Amino acid sequence: MMDTDFIDEFKGMMELKYAEHHPKKGDSWKDCSMGFLWDKFLEEAREVCERAASQYEPDKDTMSELVDVALVAAMLWAREKKNLIDRLDEGLPQNFTDGLYAKR
Ligand SMILES: [Mg+2]
């Protein structure tokens, strides 16, 4: 049996972080430009890389920054999906995730 507990735990951290973020920023991530969101992703990724590079001990802040990266990635994922749906007249096919995560 494949162990996915760490994914469940990580998802829980993302939900906590989103609950913190939402009262301040609301759904602005749904309407901002894609460029803004990609810049935010790079900013968060840079933060976690710089933190990890200067930190050899296990560190809660590094873990927290990783959740930031994942949360922005999830926002980008949702926006890309919406943009794809908007581009297709007939909507997404039922099986649109087939092969999306296959090994290349
Ligand atoms: Mg951050």
pLDDT tens per residue across span 51-60: 888 866 778 8
* Residue ranges of the chain whose pLDDT lies below 70: 55-56, 89-94, 96-104
Q: Helices in the chain by DSSP H: which ranges?
A: 5-25, 28-31, 34-53, 60-87
Tokens 């999830």 locate to 74
Q: Do the Cβ atoms of 71 and 18 come closer than 8 Å? A: yes
CA of 95 to the centre of ligand 1 (A): 34
Interacting residues of 102 by C-beta distance below 8 A, sequence separation 6+: none
CA of 49 to the centre of ligand 1 (A): 11
Interacting residues of 96 by C-beta distance below 8 A, sequence separation 6+: 84
CA of 74 to the centre of ligand 1 (A): 14
CA of 28 to the centre of ligand 1 (A): 17
* Domain ranges within the chain, ordered by starting residue: 26-87
Does this model's pTM top 0.85? no
